[in-house]
C-alpha cells in the first residue's frame, strides 16, 4: 500500500470515504474533514454492505473506518476499497487499542491506526499524511505491537535500512525524495524491496517487523 494516493484531480484534494455506524461520529468526522482543503469527503457508510455498494461511485483515495462495524470489521474495508481503487489507503480508527487490533490492522494492509481520542486537527493532518504515502500509528504502541509480532527479516542494504527508518518516522515518498536526494522511482523501488525482503504486506507491517528484528530503532 505504498505510494501517494490518487487525488481527485491533479493537485486537488484527496477523495475520502468514512465508514462508521455511529451517526454522531460520522457527522462529526464529515464536518471536521470537510473544512480541510486537502480533503474531499465523497461519501459515508454505516456498514460494510453499504460501503461495498457505494465504493464504485465514490472511488476514494483514502478510507477512514471504525474497527467494529455491525456486519464485520473495518479491516475488511481494505480489500473492498482496493478492488475498485488499487492505490486506496485505509486508516483504521478505534477506541480499542489492544495489540490484537493492531495485528489485525497490519495483517489486512491498513496504512495505519489512530485512537479515537486524538484531536480533530491531528486526525485531519494524519489523513493527509496517509494520502501522501505515510504509514502512521502511535509511537507509544510500537513496543506493544512488536511484542506480538514474532517474524524477522533478512539483512537490508544500508539504503533500504534508511528507507525503512524513514517509513517508521511516517515520512512520505515525497519526503524521502527530498531528504535522500533520489528520484521517486528509486524510492518506490527501495520500498518495494524492503517489503519483499521482510515479507511484509504493507509499510506498517514492515515497520513493525523492523522494530522487532532490530532493524529500526524508534527511541
Nearest Cα to Cα of residue 25 among 56, 68, 62, 54: 68
What's the pTM? 0.66
Decide which of 119, 141, 163 is a domain's last residue.
141
Domain count, the chain: 2
pLDDT at 112: 87
Q: Is residue 128 part of a domain?
A: yes
108 and 32 part of one domain? yes
pLDDT at 19: 97
pLDDT at 14: 95
Please state, rounded to an integer, the average pLDDT across all residues of the chain.
84
pLDDT at 150: 40
57 and 102 part of one domain? yes
pLDDT at 18: 96
Question: What is the tens place of the pLDDT at every residue in 11-54?
Answer: 679 999 999 999 988 888 999 898 899 999 999 999 999 999 99
Q: Is residue 198 part of a domain?
A: yes
33 and 119 part of one domain? yes
pLDDT at 1: 45
36 and 86 part of one domain? yes
For residues 212 and 142, give the distance between their C-alpha atoms in angstroms, rounded to a whole number.
Answer: 9
Q: Which DSSP string do the residues of 33-53 spell out, in sequence order? A: HHT-TTEEEEEEESSHHHHHH
The domain spanning residue 158 has which CATH number?
1.10.10.10
Structural domain span for residue 121: 14-141
181 and 104 part of one domain? no
Q: Is residue 3 part of a domain?
A: no
Whether 192 contacts 167, CB under 8 Å:
no
Q: Which residues of the chain have pLDDT under 50?
A: 1, 148-153
Q: Is residue 217 part of a domain?
A: no
24 and 121 part of one domain? yes
Cell of 54: 457505494
Decide which of 141, 164, 195 is a domain's last residue.
141
pLDDT at 201: 82
Amino acid at each position: 500500500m505504498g505510494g501517494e494516493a490518487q487525488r481527485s484531480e491533479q493537485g486537488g484534494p484527496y477523495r475520502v470515504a468514512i465508514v462508521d455506524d455511529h451517526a454522531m461520529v460520522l457527522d462529526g468526522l464529515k464536518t471536521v474533514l470537510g473544512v480541510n482543503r486537502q480533503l474531499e469527503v465523497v461519501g459515508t457508510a454505516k456498514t460494510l454492505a453499504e460501503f461495498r455498494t457505494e465504493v464504485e461511485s465514490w472511488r476514494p483515495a483514502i478510507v477512514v473506518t471504525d474497527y467494529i462495524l455491525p456486519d464485520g470489521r473495518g479491516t475488511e474495508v481494505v480489500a473492498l476499497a482496493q478492488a475498485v481503487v488499487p492505490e486506496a489507503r485505509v486508516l483504521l480508527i478505534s477506541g480499542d487499542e489492544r495489540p490484537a487490533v493492531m495485528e489485525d490492522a497490519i495483517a489486512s494492509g491498513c496504512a495505519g491506526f489512530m485512537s479515537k481520542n486524538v484531536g480533530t486537527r491531528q486526525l485531519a493532518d494524519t489523513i493527509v499524511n496517509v494520502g501522501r504515502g505515510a504509514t502512521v500509528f502511535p509511537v507509544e504502541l510500537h513496543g506493544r505491537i512488536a511484542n506480538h509480532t514474532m517474524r524477522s527479516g533478512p539483512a537490508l542494504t544500508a539504503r533500504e535500512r534508511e528507507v525503512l527508518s524513514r517509513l517508521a518516522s511516517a515520512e512520505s515518498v515525497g519526503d524521502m525524495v527530498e531528504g535522500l536526494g533520489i528520484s521517486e522511482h528509486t524510492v518506490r523501488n527501495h520500498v518495494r524491496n524492503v517489503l519483499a525482503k521482510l515479507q511484509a504486506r504493507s509499510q506498517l507491517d514492515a515497520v513493525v517487523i523492523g522494530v522487532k528484528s532490530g532493524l529500526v530503532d524508534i527511541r
